[in-house]
Amino acid sequence: MSKPKVAFIGTGGTIASLGRGPLDLQDYGAAGNVLHADELLARWPDTNLVADVIPVRYRNVASPAIAYPEWKDLVSLCGTLVAEHPDLAGIVIGHGTATLEETAYFLHLTVKVPVPVVLVGAQRPSSALSSDAGMNLVNALRVAASPEARGLGVLAMLNDEIHAAREVTKTSTLRLQTFRTPDFGVLGHADGDAVAFYRRPLRRGAPDTEFDVSGLAELPRVDIAYSYAGGDGTAVRAFVAAGAKGIVAGGFAPGFVPPGDFAALSEAAANGVVVVQSTRAGSGRTFRGKRLREAGFLIADNLNPQKARILLSLALTVTRDPDEIARIFRTY
């Protein structure tokens, strides 16, 4: 029986890292030894059992350094791979876990390919005793090749769990079960005998979105103002001075900010900066009560601040109408 064809794009990260020994579980980055896509597949040859894998060298980038230039490259690269391989079943992207959820959500909003795109990382380097890298990579290939994964948008696959890009977030620094979907739980699991899905996301996503980044050199600047007791608006005013077109307020649950921040955000909104209220809580919706409506703030629904920032940046590439931006947040 022929195996499905899956492309694997390597961008580095823990999954591709080699430490100084099997017990080097945390400071492995200091060794500076990071495998490219073909090298990582060679280290984990069991990947060949589940797919005919096409290794794609991108470049190794520490995930804290990944931002719009890399995201745009990955969107283009996914399109090129599908065009060059009409029989491609899916695409897997190896990625560091620090910003994996942000890359996944950006691609979920912008990639235009009909095949599944699955992001995968690891909490332990490939050199570690009991590394999760090999199993995560094998399972990501299985998910990307699964016909049931089509139409679900971009996915994240770690720790045997399949998550939706819009919903997943990293919740622990070191634990293997760090990626969670707080409000709704996983979409499914990659078990030994089957890839099993149990629900589908309802919000709109790849490839059927209104965002096109192919001609964009950069995104509009959007910053996050994190709420804390005693916040006085200094950060908000600095963001405005730096040219922010939008600000996401990572407020107290269920969506409040300190008085000093509220005054600065209200002034920013009055001067044309789009303000979106999110929450630092990690789960749950914000709501647009009387105070937010009067100040001209929009709401992030249940998007965490880092994902609300991505959606607002993309929304500002197509409109500055507050009603339209509100629609976009309801849609995606």
One domain for residues 186 and 228: no
Residue 212 within any structural domain of the chain: no
* Tokens of residue 129, six digits: 């005793």
Residue 104 within any structural domain of the chain: yes
One domain for residues 170 and 253: no
Phi-psi region of 297 (alpha: psi -120 to 50; beta: other; left: phi over 0): beta
How distant is the alpha carbon of residue 191 from its chain centre? 23
3-state helix/strand/coil string of 138-180: HHHHHHHHCHHHCCCCCEEEECCEEEECCCCEECCCCCCCCEE
One domain for residues 253 and 140: no
Judge contact between 195 and 143, C-beta under 8 A.
Answer: yes
Indicate which CATH number applies to the domain containing 320. 3.40.50.40
Q: What is the DSSP string of 56-109?
A: EE-----GGG--HHHHHHHHHHHHHHHHH-TTEEEEEEE--SSSHHHHHHHHHH
Residue 28 within any structural domain of the chain: yes
Give pLDDT, residue 54.
98
Parts of the chain with a pLDDT under 50: none
Phi-psi region of 230 (alpha: psi -120 to 50; beta: other; left: phi over 0): left
Judge contact between 126 and 154, C-beta under 8 A.
Answer: no
Helix ranges, the chain (H) = 37-43, 68-84, 100-110, 133-145, 234-241, 259-270, 290-295, 305-315, 322-331
One domain for residues 232 and 303: yes
How far CA 206 is from CA of 111, 164, 167, 303, in Å, comes to 6, 11, 14, 17
Burial of 23 (0-12, 13-18, 19+ CB in 10 A): exposed
Residue 214 within any structural domain of the chain: no
Q: Residue 238's CB: how many other CB atoms inside 10 A?
A: 13
Residues 59-75: tens digit of each pLDDT: 999 999 999 999 999 99
Q: How many domains does the chain have?
A: 2
Residues in the chain: 332
Q: What's 277's DSSP letter?
A: E
Indicate which CATH number applies to the domain containing 33. 3.40.50.1170
One domain for residues 189 and 240: no
One domain for residues 111 and 251: no
**Domain assignment of residue 289, given as a range:** 222-331
One domain for residues 154 and 10: yes
Residue 177 within any structural domain of the chain: yes
Residue 209 within any structural domain of the chain: no
User: d(Cα 83, Cα 79) in Å, to the nearest integer?
Assistant: 6
Residue 202 within any structural domain of the chain: no
Judge contact between 278 and 177, C-beta under 8 A.
Answer: no
**Residues taking part in catalysis:** 14
* Tokens of residue 209, six digits: 């979105």
Give pLDDT, residue 40.
98
> Which residues, in sequence order, are CB contacts of 18 under 8 Å at separation 6+?
28, 31, 33, 34, 35, 125, 126, 127
One domain for residues 41 and 188: yes
Cα atoms in the Cβ-side hemisphere of radius 13 Å centred on 253: 9
> Which residues, in sequence order, are CB contacts of 166 under 8 Å at separation 6+?
105, 108, 153, 201, 203, 205, 303, 307, 332
* Tokens of residue 233, six digits: 């608006």
Contacts for 132-135: CB closer than 8 Å, 24+ residues apart: 132/158, 132/159, 132/176, 133/14, 133/15, 133/16, 133/40, 133/44, 134/43, 134/44, 134/46, 134/47, 135/160
One domain for residues 172 and 310: no
Kindly report the backbone phi and psi dihedral angles of residue 331, in degrees, each rounded to the nearest multiple of 5, phi listed first.
-85, -40
Listed residues 146, 163, 197: the one ending a domain: 197
Give pLDDT, residue 233.
98
One domain for residues 118 and 46: yes
Overall pTM > 0.85: yes
Kindly report the backbone phi and psi dihedral angles of residue 69, in degrees, each rounded to the nearest multiple of 5, phi listed first.
-55, -40
One domain for residues 179 and 286: no
Residue 242 within any structural domain of the chain: yes
One domain for residues 22 and 164: yes
